[in-house]
Structure 1
Amino acid sequence: MNSDFFNLAGYISVFLWGVVPILWVIYAITGPRRWLCPMALMLAIVAFFFARHNSTNYVNLIQPDRSEEIAAQQALEEASRQAIKDSRGKDLSDVRFAEDSASDSLDRAGMEQDDLKYMDQVNKTGTPDWKKGKKSRTAGGVDDGSVESAVGGGNAIKAADSEFLEGMEEAVPVVMMEEDLAMAHRLDSLNLKTIRFLIALGLVMVGYDYLKRANIYGKESFPLSLPSAWLNGLTPLPVVVERPSPADLARLAKRGDSFVYLTDDKESTAKIPESFRRVSLCREKVDVLRAESELGTIDNDFIFETIWFGRSSFVVDSAARSEQLIERFLELLTKRKETRAKVKQSVHVVWDLKTPMPEVQKQNFAILAKATGFSLILNSQGNTAD
């Protein structure tokens, strides 16, 4: 295989896009990683720039090799001259001058009209363009003892000027046979098409990886307000999650999900803002409402219906009210499960009380949450919520 099909940039592009499938294989073996798919996409994009440089500045400038055609033409002309010499050998002169060409030994005198036409055609094809013009002598100056006069006048000095020489320093083009040149263009086209395909597939892989990690705590990326069906379709929402650190309420809100934060630490609730901003075309701000310790204007049914339809999120800073709320939620979720109702957007119940949730409640909630689209987050050491 001809190694001149690509330049260094072209071979670098091939190496870079060759690494991309390897990273995807590693991703398939090791599971979701934050950096694998974005790195593969970045390598494909860099490979595309190298491939474009190789295509524009190298492959498209390769010239076809005409040496065989020129040699065949010269051989044909020489054979024609030799045939004429053989037929008129006795009429040729043995005297040769330095300025004579290969056909000057053929005496045109006495030739027939057909021979003269043929000789004119042969001589015409063999005369290069630079010999066809009339030569002019340079104006030589008077020998005045100067350097210019010694080397041939002022024109000789001008010929050695740097600007004149720069025009003569042209890069030697790469020359290939017709078959190799066609192969170089095919490989160049295949290289660019392969990289474009890998870039398109890389974008799909980045999106797939983002959705795959969205419901995996500790591996998720920047939260976006996306339909829960997209996220839960690749990685089902875990119904019960035990976290050693406080739940990130801001992340839940930016995902477009609603939450109920249950705690008995008033200092933690004071740090929670009244609203969260998120990237969304519909609602850029999500309100966080406070429920009183005792049943008041905001009762448990109102809280349930509000988070069911994703209108707002709630914070409850009383242990007694939190226990009452969980009991009522279990009753309402049982009714929704019987009718096979399910929330459109995921709802999270965050338990951040000092006393752990009773095991029976936890098991019942897990069964109902799986059927209705809820999730229970237990903060084993929860003191504050971001």
Structure 2
Amino acid sequence: MPETLPLPCTGRYATEEELTESLSRKGTALPGSGLYPRDGTETVTAIESAISEVTIPEQHLNVVVGAGMSAVSGAVRFGLATTGNERGNPAPLAHARELYEQSTRVFDNLRSIGVARTTFDSGDATSVGRVVAKNPGVIFAETVANTPGMPVLDVMELLERTRTHASDKDRPIAVLDNTLPLSTGIDFNSMLTPDDRVLIVESPTKSAMHNGGLLGAVYSKNEELMDGFRKFKATEGLVTSTQADQEILEALEATIPGFHSRNRALFESTGRIAVALADAQAELGRSTDFTVDFPLLPNHDNYDYADEHLVNGVSPVVFMACTNFEEGSARNLYRRISKHPRILELINDGQIYGGQSFGFKEASLLYSHDANYVRIAGGYDVDQDALADAIYEAAADA
């Protein structure tokens, strides 16, 4: 019978010396030489090196996982396990109130298995200070929240508070989701020190992979944390697919060179849309069926911080929050916007479409089944004037 089974991807060694040399690399940032894929491969090392060009520029300070949510859930669970072991007791979790829906579900699941948790307002520096003082095991927040209110975390306040924590031994681990601004908007390489107990998580699925495949990234300047998370990744199976790794690497080789320029164009496009929506909301007055809250609009609570610290851009998405809380309101608002003649023209022209995710050359529209909003993502290769004007007309024509 002819051989039709897949070829094994595990290493095979003829001598004890070769096997021992490969075993010595297990759990390190070095490639595992094919010992077993979950322990690292040369291709995974190359992927981490590629990602490091837009995060922290050292491969061993970056770990890639299977998806953005794998980075979020894995880093938080690693942090809870680490601080729990250090303290000799289960460590509580403190997380921001406004979070991406999937992250909220992760933390709901942790609570259901006994993890104590508390919440805080990530857009309020005083609240951030108070939560550090409570000494949780892990503090989780999005640097710019992927929610209609879009609170912006005062990262410098968080770092200062954790650096001056009363007990070095009991310092919490901060896990910060930087998926919206990415390193284009917030450069953690210039902010973190090797002593900071901070893990940054991102979803390279968007700009880095151009939505061509799933990928998650965790990075930090703290070598002890990164060494620990690398081993945790292997134990928990938070790995990329061996068969997909070469495709991931090839995608990154194509996308990384233009990473920041595309992101800046995305941020500019989305900012123009946010201004158009704010103007439309003002035009509608009390009859408006939506509100918009974007960090670079002067009426946002965190405008001053965002305007000073996120000079290269804030977010590739903006939200239209429904003022009507009845079931189906988000779909009705989406229908009103997407069926407007100016928007239909742009759909036919390939400038905007209805669909999930962001980071594309076109803009996109999406309404939520689970929450009361429509999300609009800018595009990096669109007619920004035409797009903003059309969205203004569609939004103002209630």
Fold agreement, TM-score > 0.5? no
Q: Name the larger-Rg structure.
A: 1
Q: Which has the higher helix share?
A: 1
